[in-house]
Amino acid sequence: MAQLFPKLANTLFRVAIVGAVLGAAVLGGAAMIFARSPYATGSMDGKTQPIQFSHAHHVNGLGIDCRYCHTSAEQVAHSNVPPTKTCMNCHSQIWVGSEMLSLVRDSYKSEESIEWKRLHRLADFAYFDHSIHLAKGIGCASCHGRVDQMQAIYQKGTLLMEWCLDCHRAPENHLRPRDQITNMAWSADQYKDPSQPEKVWTQHELGTKLKEQFQVRSLIECSTCHR
């Protein structure tokens, strides 16, 4: 009986199998890269806001502490967007005729909130508590980046689970004294221990010390964030 397929068919079949396996691997890798890209996560994307509020000017230039505007960050799970009245505490006295701030004045008079565009949007199935992180010595810059250098605020991290776990597995790499949580430029070598005034600390050394002092646990169980 004559052969139905030429001998070349065996080679083509093997090439097709290898191609399918490699193609699936490439597609899988491309999907993983895309899921972590700024396009998918929203990181590094500075959205145009109703008013172009400059954190660099207010935090770095004027020295305003994060908690002056975000008053609830240390007390509750969800940090607040400052009400217009907070803006008017200063801007009823300075730049009172600025056209750029007309929306602020209108909002204050009408008592209608300014519709700011949200940047840091954690997944609905993940729980995050601002207050406990600050109480344990995690600084604002660890999650939000150097906002004192941002003209237009943007999301620094990916907010993916692996990004959170990097800190949860080794919190000592991020811990700082509680009175330095809003200091954007703080680093461990600035820390002075009264019992060792000459010692220059590394982040790991200081973080390990604070981890014990603040009773910080490396919580990586699913129920920590998924409740």
pLDDT single digits (tens) 165-196: 999 999 999 999 999 999 999 999 999 998 88
Res 202 pLDDT > 80:
yes
b vs e for 86-117, b when ≥16 Cβ sit within 10 Å of the residue's Cβ? ebbeebeeeeeeeeebeebbebbeeeeebeee
Residue 155 contacts residue 42 (beta carbons within 8 Å): yes
CA distances from 173 to 78, 90, 142, 188, 207 (A): 24, 37, 10, 10, 6
Chain segment 51-95, per-residue pLDDT in tens: 989 999 999 999 999 999 999 999 999 888 999 999 999 999 999
What is the DSSP secondary structure assignment for residue 94, as one 8-state letter?
S
Angle between helices 84-91 and 102-110 (to 10 degrees): 120
pLDDT band at 3 (very low <50, low <70, confident <90, very high): low
Q: pLDDT digits over 121-146, tens only?
A: 888 899 999 999 999 999 999 999 99
148 by Cβ neighbours in 10 Å (0-12 / 13-18 / 19+) ranks as buried
